[in-house]
Structure 1
Amino acid sequence: MTKIIVTLGPATSTEDDLRKIKDKGVDFVRINMSHSSIDDLKRYIAMAKKVGIPFIIDTEGSQVRTGELETPTIDLEEGDEVKIFASAIVGTKTQFNLKPVHVVPQLEIGDLIHVDFDSVTLRVTDISTLSQGYICTKAITGGTLGKNKATNVDRISTRPITLPPLSEKDMQSIKVGLDEGIGMIAASFMRSGKSVDFVRSATQNTMQVISKVECVEALENLNDILAKSDYVLIDRGDLSREIPLEKIPFTQKIILHRARKYSTPVFVATNLLETMITNKKPTRAEIHDVLNTIVDGAHGLTLAAETAIGKHPMECINMLNNLIDHARLAVDVEEFSDKEDKFVQTLEDKNYLFDFEVSSALIAPHGGKLVNRMAKEVPTPEYLEHLPKVQLDENRQRDVEQIAIGTYSPLEGFMGSTDFHSSLDRMRLANGLPWTLPIWLDVAEEVAHSLPVGSDVGLTNDENEVVAILHLEEKYTFEKEDMAQKMYATLDMEHPGVRMVMNLHPIMLGGKITLLKRRPAEFKEYELTPRQSRKLFDGKGWAKVVAFHTRNVPHRGHEFLQLDAMRRANCDGLFVHPVVGKKKPGD
């Protein structure tokens, strides 16, 4: 029988409410500790124990949230400059804080901060003020800023924000639970099996752990989390901040399917009967969603805002019971689940969980895949110290970064001989994909001789700091005259491109790269990675975009071209993409 968890709140705050809830067969109750105090927790536990309905401790977990504001909401417009403080303040239109406090020092120039759903997006523009307690941001999309709202950080690098599994308030909640003999804890934002172990240890191994799957890191470590948890709970609301909304249904199927292999029961939460917060009846889409979730094999369902703050909490529970009974009468869940195995396996084979382009309405990235060659973890200094080194000039430093962030997709490193010569001979990669210029790394003969194929090579900047690692796959020679002729159709040494080619070292290195550190740049605050750009387009609901690539300030003629292109191609938006880089003399 499908279980029900009910979230208590202002709409279900009395002992009579809990008696009605128990009478309707609800299995567990909880409160949302992100919006409740420790005193609230004690009061609700006391009522639940008196009524005789099992209570689940809820944690805030490792989530980034906005702080207090002087008004319930603040409207921000595109271009507004906002300071974000590391310590608690009362926020205004020009400043607010993020919590927990150790989040802000981890932010980098170029990080995008998305507040709540369909709301404000801020870009970090300056972190030099951190010594004064804040960083500077600018709104790149306007919207409403609310207090205590969940926040998703889209990092310029791929390194996650480091957060503890439990907050200080969570530890207080656990102590209350231990004192009251509570047997279950729902742990928010479990990111790995180690997080589950940490929570289990904090409860002194006395509580069953329900691990909430609500972030990409949880998906990356899903098997470990499933193996170490007593239950998992799919929080579809928070998860949809990090993956495209349209991926939630199939992602849910994959999680349920994997959980069956580990015999780990799964609860599903968020937006089950959302319209019943205000209406007495759900939508047909909500009924369809709930029935499909049950048929997919969910162990239980969680009502959240519907029963915490909704106008019709008891009717919600009645409706959910009705749908559970209907599903049980109509379908043998186990038999149906077996028939879905092939479908889910197809999704797994396509790496559906981590292919974030699969659901995008935008054209696929060049080559069909948006490359990401940025390291999630930096190797130890000892490892980097013992690597053979190759120093990069300014242009190669730019190239290695553009490869890593996906600008040069589908390239994952410096070209090998086959792609190098193919791009020169026919302006295509060896696989036939259009590619007009080679991307190379040239070294002197004595340097090449010291680098064995199959080894890792440290790529250094002007300060001899290892900024990337080349996974060396190939060393090869090339003809300078042939390269210059095919690139520039001349061998005239007055041509700067020809002079550049003739001054190259004689050996090329090919292989994938891993970027450890992005290069500093004067205009870093204005940069967007391809991934960030595509996410912003998706967030705006754009499917077709005109891009205007320019090295000059747009004038009225450019404006006409942009608007005319949008009209002719029936586009949804315009992306102005200025060239920023090394100037020629006289520019």
Structure 2
Amino acid sequence: MIVSETNKEILCTLGPASLDERTIMRLTDLGATLFRINLSHTAINEVAPTVGLIQKFTDVPVCLDTEGAQIRTGKFVQGQVELNEHTVVRLSVSQVPGDAYRFNLYPRDIVRDLQIGDFISIDFASALVQVIDFEDAAGDYCAVARVLHGGPVGSNKAVTVDRDIVLPPLTDKDIAAISEGRAVGVEHFALSFANRISDVKAIRKVAGGGTTIISKIETLDALANLKEIADESDALLIDRGDLSRQVPIERIPALQKSIISTAKGMGAKIYVATNLLESMVTAPTPTRAEVNDIYNTLSDGADGLVLAAETAIGEFPVHCMGMVVKVTQNFEQGNDADQILPFAEPVSLLPDPHGGTLKTRDFVEHGDFDASELVKVEIRDTDLLDCEQLASGTFSPLSGFMDRETLESVLDNCSLPNGAVWTLPIILQVAPDVAQGLGKDRKVQLVDSSGVPRALLDIAEVSEIDLGDIALRWFGTSSTEHPGVAKFLDKGNYILAGDIQLIDPMPSPFRHYLLSPTQTRFLFAHKGWSRVVGFHTRNVAHRVHQFIQTESLTRTGADGLFISPVIGPKKPNDFLPGPIMKSYQLLLEFGRYEAGRVMLGGFATYSRYCGPREAVFTALCRKNMGCSHFIVGRDHTGVGDFYGPDENRAIFDRLGDIGIAPVFFEAIGFDETKQSYVLQNDEAATRPISGTEARQSLISGERLPDWYMEDIVQDMLLEQISDDKPVFYS
């Protein structure tokens, strides 16, 4: 499921912060087009294993970025030293343990090419030294330099000499790495410090046919030979960081525009790198200047962008990629000066709502209608919950209760008349005496059992239905032993169809947990989530569900988990919503989930217990909330033995891509021998989850095994039972 839909390419550098399964999967999901390995920070013996790791988790091609014709600092024992002004340092040819007074350059022999008087800028002008002498004592040839400008200097940092020193375009390590890369299928190579056309020809000769060569423009020589380099290359890459070592930084923006214009005029592909989102190396959000830089770089005509430190060593590699995608998508949507308000809407990387947009219904104030002129129709609390979800957009693309045509289409085809997948009837049943006198184009008040108006219904149709026929087609049975069928048959045999407007939602002690799709989407985006797993439950938290939740995050590489328990009415002996929400709140408060990766929100609906149809329905609701994946258990939303163990998977397979990916789990048990959670089987060592046994144990005041439920949850439940507080529906 690729979230990014952009014509621009995004190259991501992988490193310590991103060389893992989840991050590679997420960057792939967001639309990375090339994964870059920087050979300046990768040992030769790490090349093949690193490429293999990447290829294990993605089909996105790998690019080896050479060291090229550059000088860098050697290794400092402490990683970084402070060069103090007016001190003297020695640059040694022999390998030495680097400190503030003696260290190596790389390649080490470059010291022999220095001259007295050379100015040497180290670590992007952090320090500046001047060669004043040479020594050759005891076989250790070194350049002696005075520190003209002090500052911190780290290992493997850029070094610039104030005059041109010709270096081979490829180091020995580069040549060996290209050979290693070709052996494991790498076909993309970036040439650092491409100074002239012969440099490009040299790497093409080493890499061989069928390869893609990206020449990096980062020196004055490269600018002088830009057209020739472009002719010989498959693409160009402006490295603004290294380029700024030779070009004053204030001239870089204009120079970038000039290089891009030249490349585009020649029909050459061109990328831009360096400091696109530098602040996001340590922060989850960028600066305004960085976002403007990306947008303007795209406006200049760049074909792609390169993330370097942001994704290689930064703390938020996925956030960085997501931000680049959002800015790029916004750029590609165009800029219509007459359309100001749409710019207030954030660019979302979450899946689109079902049907394309959230169908929300505006609230209506009591003063906006004359209640004395509108008939009151008392409906059940479950129907009022449907009104709330219709109004909030959870049932998108529905905007009201279904008419007869829509009901028949859903029952026969698992779709709305327009072809959109929909599996569950959303109907408003009333008794014949209520239906009498009501007709099309009439507005009525929908009131609760106390007569309080909760919603308005614009009646589009009044139809009689065959309860037995509908029950059989909906639930697969007409048996009243099925709790969903029993409730359905207990309602009237007429349906009122039409759009609704919400007046007041019903009061709820869990209102603070209820989140509309607009709110969940806002929260997911705020947390930087674009791949979210939804979890639907009607039970208190237990360890098998915790295992499934954690395993689903691993399987999908998701950014976060949205736990969304049902808090509407359920059948007798099911858990009440209070203990359910409190059990998950306790797990969150006690840190039982990975920090920052779980969000809890109640789902104000009720269980129909209709198995496969309800499994798809609950998935579509979470899609509208912004989830990309949805956990589907073996007996998800079923009851008793009314549905087979494979029916949930079968209906998803039959319907195909519905815009949210199911994450299937078979029945899970606890293997007492292995002390782990495994697929349930008939072996004596595997303990199944039994809701009936758990309920009986809790009611009897007995503790459940630790593998079944965490102590903090059991303590809460047993305390409530001991205090005669209800835990189960009666």
Question: Which structure 2 residues correspond to residues 475-514 of structure 1 after superposition, within 5 A?
Answer: none
Is this contact kept in 1: 2:117–2:131, CA < 8 A?
Answer: yes
Query: For residue 133 of structure 2, what is the aligned residue in structure 1?
Result: 126
Match for residue 99 of structure 1 among 87, 93, 106: 106
Which residue in the other structure is 1:34 paired with? Answer: 40
Which of 205, 218, 221 in structure 2 is aligned with 1:217? 221
- Contact 2:93/2:140 (8 A) holds in 1: no
Paired residue for 2:303?
A: 299
Question: 2:158 aligned with 1:154, yes or no?
Answer: no
**1:321 aligns with one of 325, 339, 347:** 325
Name which one, 1 or 2, has greater alpha-carbon Rg: 2
Higher relative contact order, chain-length normalized (CA < 8 Å, sep 6+): 1
Specify the alignment match of 1:273 in structure 2: 277
Letter in 1 for 2:60: I
Counterpart in the other structure of 2:80: 73
Q: In the TM superposition, what is the alpha-carbon distance from 1:240 to its structure 2 partner?
A: 0.8
Residue 233 in structure 1 maps to residue 237 in structure 2: yes
Amino acid at match of 2:148: I
Match of 1:190 in 2: 194
Separation in 2, partners of 1:48, 1:253: 34
Report deviation, 1:38.
2.6
Looking at structure 2, the residues matched to 101 and 279 of structure 1 have their Cα atoms a distance apart, in angstroms, of 37
Q: TM-score, length-normalised on structure 1?
A: 0.54
The worse-fitting range, judged by mean Cα deviation, of 127-136 and 253-262 is 127-136
Q: Return the match for 1:140 from 113, 134, 148.
A: 148
Aligned-partner Cα distance in 2 for 1:310–1:286: 16
Picking from 5, 14, 20, the partner of 2:11 is: 5
Task: Give the corresponding residue for 1:541.
Answer: none
SS at match of 2:209: coil
The C-alpha deviation readout for 1:304-347, integer Å capped at 9, x for no partner, is: 11111111111111110000111111159xxxxxxxxxxxxxxx
- Which consecutive residues of structure 1, in runs of 5 or more, have no partner in the other structure? 333-587
Equivalent in the alignment of 1:110:
117
SS at match of 1:320: helix
Residue deviations 1:166-219, cap 9 Å, x none?
111111110112111212101111110000000100112331100001111111
1:22 matched residue in structure 2: 28
Q: Does the C-alpha gap of structure 1 residues 318 and 132 become closer, same or farther in structure 2, counting only changes over 3 Å?
A: closer
Q: Secondary structure at the match of 2:203?
A: helix
Please give the alpha-carbon distance, in whole angstroms, between the structure 2 residues aligned to 1:145 and 1:48. Answer: 32
Rounded Cα–Cα distance in structure 2 between residues aligned with 1:292 and 1:44: 34
Deviation at 1:37, TM superposition (A): 1.6
Q: Is the 8 A contact 1:67 1:89 kept in 2?
A: no
Whichever residue aligns with residue 84 of structure 1, its letter is L
Aligned counterpart, 2:500: none
CA contact (8 A) 2:89 2:147 kept: yes
Partners of 2:67 and 2:94 in 1: CA distance: 18
Residue 248 (1) aligns with residue 226 (2): no
Work out whether residues 78 and 140 of structure 1, in 8 Å CA contact, stay in contact via their aligned partners in 2.
yes
Structure 1 counterpart of 2:23, one-letter code: D
What secondary structure is seen at the aligned counterpart in 1 of 2:40? coil
Whether the 8 Å CA contact 1:18–1:47 is kept in 2: the answer is: no
Q: Report the 3-state secondary structure (helix = DSSP H, G, I; strand = E; otherwise coil) of the residue aligned with 2:145.
A: strand
The equivalent of 1:282 in structure 2 is 286
| Alignment partners' CA distance in 2, 1:254 and 1:129 | 47
> What does the per-residue CA deviation read over 1:53-72, in whole Å, with 9 as the maximum and x for residues that have no partner?
11111111111011111211
Is the partner of 1:137 in helix, strand or coil?
A: strand
Q: Does 1:208 align with 2:216?
A: no
Normalization by structure 2: what TM-score? 0.44
Counterpart of 2:333 in 1: which secondary structure?
helix
Give the corresponding residue for 2:95. 88
Change (3 A) 1:182 1:331: farther
**Could you tell me whether the CA contact under 8 Å between 2:19 and 2:54 is conserved in 1?**
no
| One-letter amino acid matched to 1:305 | A
Aligned residue in 1 for 2:170: 166
1:110 and 1:311 mapped to 2: Cα distance? 41
C-alpha contact (below 8 Å) 1:111/1:153 kept by paired residues: yes
| 2:60 maps to 1:53 | yes
Asked if the contact 1:129–1:136 (Cα under 8 Å) also holds between the matched residues in 2, the reply is no
* CA distance, structure 1, for counterparts of residue 55 and residue 184 of structure 2: 9
Contact 2:196 2:228 in 1 (8 A): yes
CA distance in 2, matches of 1:328, 1:145: 41
Letter paired with 2:214: I
Percent identity over the alignment is 40
- Residue matched to 1:387: none
Secondary structure, in 3 states, of the residue corresponding to 1:169?
A: helix
Cα distance, 1:153–1:300 mapped onto 2, change above 3 Å: same
Whole-Å separation in 2 of the counterparts to 1:124 and 1:118: 16
Cα deviation, residue 86, structure 1: 2.0
Give 1:257's aligned residue. 261
Separation of aligned partners in 2, 1:123 and 1:115: 11
Deviations 1:265-313 (A, max 9, x none): 0010010011111111111100110000001110110001111111111
For these two proteins, the number of residue pairs brought into alignment is: 328
**Secondary structure of 1:151's match?**
strand
Deviation string, structure 1 residues 93-137 (Cα, Å, up to 9, x no partner): 221111113311111111001001241111000136497411111
* CA shift digits 1:205-264 (9 cap, x unpaired): 331100001111111111111111100100111111111011111111111011012211
Q: Is the 8 A contact 1:116 1:151 kept in 2?
A: yes
Tell me the distance in 2 between the aligned counterparts of 1:179 and 1:101: 29
Q: Deviations over 1:455-495 (max 9, x none)?
A: xxxxxxxxxxxxxxxxxxxxxxxxxxxxxxxxxxxxxxxxx
CA distance in 2: counterparts of 1:80 and 1:237, whole angstroms: 28
SS of equivalent to 2:153: strand
How far apart are 1:145 and its partner, in Å? 2.1
Distance 2:46 2:30 in 1: 24
Query: C-alpha displacement at 1:76, in angstroms?
Result: 1.6
